[in-house]
Copies of this chain bind each other. A is one copy, B any other.
């Protein structure tokens, strides 16, 4: 792609509707997309090349990070992002290339050191913030320590220093009734980092010993930012992200996007798209509430989220980008109330897209589209081609 990509003034807008794919409501036989009034999405479908994407592989349910990486053109198995890094991205923490990040839980242990609650009774975020402040000034030779609150019982630990390694096992046994494990080095060169991490846990334990519930920490997902070629490097694009949730801003930053203000709603996001439209040539817009309502198991609310998005689209359409792509990072059927493995509707509208006969943006309709069912990593080359930003391969 690096060799074939070229700079041109054309614009690519990628709208990711988080968790948009669904399953039929048992009462009506219609999915969330099929149930929603969505004249704009349907009109776009009629002018688009449609299909259904597999983010990772058939049957595999994507987490949000690998789902987005696949859409951005990265092999999500090769560039698997650790739990700790995802946590740090989610709090807008700017990870340096060598930082080691881990996900932490405040938890409860009894007198024998056995875990009785892995979430310390889901302490409040305020309490969490107070506890993190007390742990943040733990000092250990060989690493700077950052302890940053996330939400309720969750925090992120960042270790910064020379020669650290992320090859560490978890201390979190992932079940109650056991003691936290010692953090083991998975490779010899991680030995010193393991010592630092265990020293952190030991000091944290001392400082927390008088807490009624949050009297211990559990660590997991030690990881480092993957060494990932950026979108500007790969595609000669100048990309920007407009997302309301920190985790998606963090992912966008990781692949070299400029992160613009997301505001509070899709209206704000599209206003910002208009405002910065001439400063970039690739925009990633992330719409969250479809996934959130799906995870809640609230079918009707997910339908309404789709309708809310559809209502906002004319503002985007009036910009008439050379390439508009609308898809999702995974399915979140309200009937399952979680991410799922089902493939996700996709459409790409451009002057050159060769449309198909699809007249509706839905799971069933998109299956008959010109792309059929295909891997999400193929989206970026398609976007580039339809924006006339790719040279021919070979003579």
Contact A341 B58 (CB under 8 A): no
Residues of chain B within 8 A of A64, CB atoms compared: 394-395
Check A80 against B378 for contact (C-beta < 8 Å): no
Which of A130-138, A277-285, A384-392 faces chain B?
A384-392
With most chain B CB atoms within 10 A of its CB, the pick from A59, A62, A221 is A59
Cβ-defined partner of A393 (8 Å) among B24, B63, B356: B63
Known A373-B372, A395-B86; judge A60-B354 contact (CB<8 A): no
Contact residues in B for A371 (Cβ distance below 8 Å): 58, 373
Whether B336 and A374, one on each chain, are in contact in the complex, defined by CB atoms closer than 8 angstroms, is no
Q: How far is A151 from B371 in the complex, measured between Cα atoms in Å? A: 40
State whether A381 touches B58 (Cβ < 8 A): yes
User: Restricting to A64-102, which residues have a CB under 8 Å from any CB of B?
Assistant: 64-67, 76, 80-83, 86-87
A363 located at the interface, meaning its Cβ lies under 8 Å from any Cβ of chain B in the complex? yes
Name the residue of chain B whose CB is nearest to the CB of A103: B395
- A340 lies within 8 A of chain B by Cβ: yes
On chain B, the residues within 8 Å of A341 by CB distance are 381-382, 385, 390
Which of B357, B363, B378, B394 is in CB contact (< 8 Å) with A63? B394
Evaluate contact between A63 and B381: CB separation under 8 angstroms.
Answer: no
- CA A393 – CA B221 in complex, angstroms? 13
Asked if B65 and A394 sit within 8 Å, CB to CB, the answer is yes
- In chain A, positions 319-373 with a C-beta closer than 8 Å to chain B are 333, 336, 338-342, 352, 354-357, 363-364, 367-368, 370-373
Are B58 and A374 touching (Cβ within 8 A)? yes
Whether A56 sits at the interface, judged by CB under 8 Å, is yes
CB <8 Å contact, B59 and A394 = no
* Interface check A61, CB cutoff 8 A: yes
A176 part of interface (Cβ distance < 8 Å): no
**At the interface, yes or no: A4 with Cβ under 8 Å from chain B?**
yes
Q: Does A23 contact B (CB under 8 A)?
A: yes
A394 to B81, Cβ gap below 8 A?
yes
Contacts of A80 in B (CB 8 A): 394
The reply on A267 being an interface residue by CB < 8 A is no
- CB <8 Å contact, A58 and B363: no
Find A372's partner among B354, B357, B372 (CB 8 Å cutoff).
B372
Interchain CB contact (< 8 A) of A58 among B76, B82, B382? B382
Whole-angstrom distance from the CB of A116 to the nearest CB of chain B?
24
A56 touching B356, Cβ below 8 Å: no
CB <8 Å contact, A59 and B385: yes
Most buried by B among A56, A60, A65, A83: A60
Considering the chains assembled together, what is the distance between the CA atoms of A15 and B175 in angstroms? Answer: 37
- CB neighbours of A368 from chain B (8 A): 368
The 8 Å CB contact of A61, one of B333, B336, B378, B385, is B385
Contact status A60-B356, CB under 8 Å? no
At the interface, yes or no: A169 with Cβ under 8 Å from chain B?
A: no
A292 contacts the other chain (CB 8 A): no
Given the complex of chains A and B, what is the CA–CA distance between A99 and B333 in angstroms?
50
Pair B81/A395 contact, Cβ less than 8 Å: yes
Q: A59-B382, A339-B392, A340-B385 are in contact. List 13 more A-B contacts (CB 8 A).
A: A57-B378, A59-B380, A59-B386, A60-B381, A61-B390, A61-B391, A61-B393, A63-B394, A81-B394, A83-B395, A86-B394, A336-B352, A372-B373
* Across the A-B interface, the 5 shortest Cβ-Cβ residue pairs: A59-B381, A63-B394, A66-B394, A86-B395, A59-B385
